[in-house]
C-alpha cells in the first residue's frame, strides 16, 4: 500500500528563503523573510538573501494548525445519522464500523483524511483509533506529523479488542524509526477502560519511557462519565486519572465538556492539555467545554476535529471562529489555540500554513480576520518539516484523486456491512 501513491519522497529538508511574507511573530503580524534549513526556521529578519527563494508577499503565514484529537479513518462512515446523542451514535454506527474495520480500510480512510487535513493547513494531528501501524504508514506517505494512540479499552460491546497493550507496544517501537510520528498511550475513557487496564497502561509507560511521549484520553465528553466514575471510584474522572499518574504536561485530554471546578484545578496544576472539539460536541448535543474557566485557571488548551464523520469536515479555522463567537475571545487567545504557540520564532520546526492574503482584505486587522474570517479555502500552501506537502491547494506527496477513489471503494464495502438500526 505504501508505495502505491508516492509521487516523490520527502526524506530530508532543503534550505530556502521565504520572502516578504506577513507572518505571525511574537503575537502580532509583521512583514519578514524566513530562512528555512534542516526542517527548521533558522532565521527571521529583513532582506535575507539566498539562492532558493519563494515569493510569499501575497501570503500570510501562521504556524501549522494543530489538530489535537482525531479518529481519521472514521470518515468512512460520514453521513451516518447522528440523532440520539453520542452514545446512540457510537452504539448504532461507530462501534459496528470499528468492530470489523480492516487494516486496508484504516489506511485508506486515514490517508483520505490526511489529504483533507493537509489542505486545511493542519500540519500535526493527535490520533486515537485502531490499526494505527497502518495509519503511521499513511503519515509517512503524505508527510504529516502525528502523535498516534491505539484506543485501549475493555468495555466495548464486541468480543475481541482491536487495540491491546501488545499492539500499542509494537506501534511505539515502530515509531522510533520515524522523524514525524510519535506514540502516546491511548486510554479511551473512564467509562470504557477498567481501572485494572488503566493501571496496566500506566505501568507500560513507566517501564518504557523512551517509547511513549505521553497519554491521550477522552475526559468528560458526556455527564455520564462523572456519574460512573463516582459510582466506581468515589471520585471525579480527573481525580482518578491524577491518582493513577496519567495527568501531566504531556497528557492530552479530549473534550473536557462536563468539568467540575476541582478537575479544572487539577488540569491547571498538572499542565494537562484540554482539547475542545467544538464541532463534534455541538453536532451531538454533548455540550460545550468551560473554556473561559479553564483560561482563567491557566489550563493549556488545544482544538480537535474528533471524528470527521461527526464534525463533518476538517476546517479548524472555522471551528476557532465558533469558539470565538461562543466565548467572546480575541485573536491573542484564538490563534495560539489554533496553532499551539504564540507565533513563528527562530529554532521552531518549519511547519507553516500559507493563507492567501487577498482572502483577508483589507488587512486592517489581520489577526482578527484570520481568527474570524479565514477558512480552509484560504489556504494555498502548507509546509511540514521544511517541505511543501501542499502547493497551490494540491497535495504534492500523494495522488489525491487516486486516494479518493480507493477510499471511496473501501467506504462502499464498509457501508455494505452496516445495517440501518431499527
Query: What's the pLDDT at 84?
Result: 82
Rounded CA-CA distance 355/157 in Å is 44
Work out the end-to-end distance of the chain between its first and last CA atoms, rounded to an integer number of angstroms: 37
Read off the pLDDT of each residue in 24-33 and give the average, rounded to a whole number.
94
* CATH superfamily ID and name for 65-339: Metal-dependent hydrolases (3.20.20.140)
Q: What is the pLDDT of residues 309-364, one digit of tens each?
A: 999 899 999 999 999 999 999 999 999 999 999 899 999 999 999 999 999 999 88
**Confidence category of residue 3, pLDDT binned at 50, 70, 90:** very low
Measuring CA to CA, how many Å separate 281 from each of 237, 275, 300? 19, 12, 19
Mean pLDDT of the chain: 93
- Using pLDDT thresholds of 50, 70 and 90, give the confidence band for residue 237: very high
Q: How confident is the model at residue 158 (pLDDT cuts 50, 70, 90)?
A: low
Comparing 139 with 422, the larger pLDDT belongs to 139
| Model confidence, pTM | 0.94
**In the chain, % of residues over pLDDT 90:** 86
Q: Angle, to 10 degrees, between the axis of helix 400-417 and the axis of helix 103-119?
A: 130
Residue 7: predicted pLDDT: 42
Q: Is the pLDDT of residue 5 over 50?
A: no
pLDDT at 272: 99
> Three-state SS across 75-131?
HHHCCCCCCCHHHHHHHHHHHHHHHCCCHHHHHHHHHHHHHHHHHCCEEEEEEEECC
In this predicted model, what pLDDT tens digit does every residue of 261-304 receive, in sequence order?
Answer: 999 999 999 999 999 999 999 999 999 999 999 999 999 999 99
pLDDT digit string (tens) for 88-97?
898 889 988 9
Q: What is the pLDDT of residue 419?
A: 64
**β 387-391/394-395 pair status:** antiparallel
> Per this entry, what is the length of the chain?
422
The domain spans of the chain are: 16-63+342-400, 65-339
* Superfamily holding 16-63+342-400: Urease, subunit C, domain 1 (2.30.40.10)
Could you give the residue ranges of the DSSP H alpha helices within 328-399? 331-339, 366-373
The pLDDT of residue 91 is: 86
pLDDT at residue 81, rounded to an integer: 87
Tens-place pLDDT, residues 104-125: 999 999 999 999 999 999 999 9
pLDDT at 386 over 90: yes
Three cell numbers, residue 146: 502525528
The percentage of the chain sitting over the pLDDT mark of 70, rounded to a whole number, equals 95
List pLDDT tens digits, range 65-104.
999 999 999 999 999 888 888 888 988 899 889 888 999 9
Amino acid at each position: 500500500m505504501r508505495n502505491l501513491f508516492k509521487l516523490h519522497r520527502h526524506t530530508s529538508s532543503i534550505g530556502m528563503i521565504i520572502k516578504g511574507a506577513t507572518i505571525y511573530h511574537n503575537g502580532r503580524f509583521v512583514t519578514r523573510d524566513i530562512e528555512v534549513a534542516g526542517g527548521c526556521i533558522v532565521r527571521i529578519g529583513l532582506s535575507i538573501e539566498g539562492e532558493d527563494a519563494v515569493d510569499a508577499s501575497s501570503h500570510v503565514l501562521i504556524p501549522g494548525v494543530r489538530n489535537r484529537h482525531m479518529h481519521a479513518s472514521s470518515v468512512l462512515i460520514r453521513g451516518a445519522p447522528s440523532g440520539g446523542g453520542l452514545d446512540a451514535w457510537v452504539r448504532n454506527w461507530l462501534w459496528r464500523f470499528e468492530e470489523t474495520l480492516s487494516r486496508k480500510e484504516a489506511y485508506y480512510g486515514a490517508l483520505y483524511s490526511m489529504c483533507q487535513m493537509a489542505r486545511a493547513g493542519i500540519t500535526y494531528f493527535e490520533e486515537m483509533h485502531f490499526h494505527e501501524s497502518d495509519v503511521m504508514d499513511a503519515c509517512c506517505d503524505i508527510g504529516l506529523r502525528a502523535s498516534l494512540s491505539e484506543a485501549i479499552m475493555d468495555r466495548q460491546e464486541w468480543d475481541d479488542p482491536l487495540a491491546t497493550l501488545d499492539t500499542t507496544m509494537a506501534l511505539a517501537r515502530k515509531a522510533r524509526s520515524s522523524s514525524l510520528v510519535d506514540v502516546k498511550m491511548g486510554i479511551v475513557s473512564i467509562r470504557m477502560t477498567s481501572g485494572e487496564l488503566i493501571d496496566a497502561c500506566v505501568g507500560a509507560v513507566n517501564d518504557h519511557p523512551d517509547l511513549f511521549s505521553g497519554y491521550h484520553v477522552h475526559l468528560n465528553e458526556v455527564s455520564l462519565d462523572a456519574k460512573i466514575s463516582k459510582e466506581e471510584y468515589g471520585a471525579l474522572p480527573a481525580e482518578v486519572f491524577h491518582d493513577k499518574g496519567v495527568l501531566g504536561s504531556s497528557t492530552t485530554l479530549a473534550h473536557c465538556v462536563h468539568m467540575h471546578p476541582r478537575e479544572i484545578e487539577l488540569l491547571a496544576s498538572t499542565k494537562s492539555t484540554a482539547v475542545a472539539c467544538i464541532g463534534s460536541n455541538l453536532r451531538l448535543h454533548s455540550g460545550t467545554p468551560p473554556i473561559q474557566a479553564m483560561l482563567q485557571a491557566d489550563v493549556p488548551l488545544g482544538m480537535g476535529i474528533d471524528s470527521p464523520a461527526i464534525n463533518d469536515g476538517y476546517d479548524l479555522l472555522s471551528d476557532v471562529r465558533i469558539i470565538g463567537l461562543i466565548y467572546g475571545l480575541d485573536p491573542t487567545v484564538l490563534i495560539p489555540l489554533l496553532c499551539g504557540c504564540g507565533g513563528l520564532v527562530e529554532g521552531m520546526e518549519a511547519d507553516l500554513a500559507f493563507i492567501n492574503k487577498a482572502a483577508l482584505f483589507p488587512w486592517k486587522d489581520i489577526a482578527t480576520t484570520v481568527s474570524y474570517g479565514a477558512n480552509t479555502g484560504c489556504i494555498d500552501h502548507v509546509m511540514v518539516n521544511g517541505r511543501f506537502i501542499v502547493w497551490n491547494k494540491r497535495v504534492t506527496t500523494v495522488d489525491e484523486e487516486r486516494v479518493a477513489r480507493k477510499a471511496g471503494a473501501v467506504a462502499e464495502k464498509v457501508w455494505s456491512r452496516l445495517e440501518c438500526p431499527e
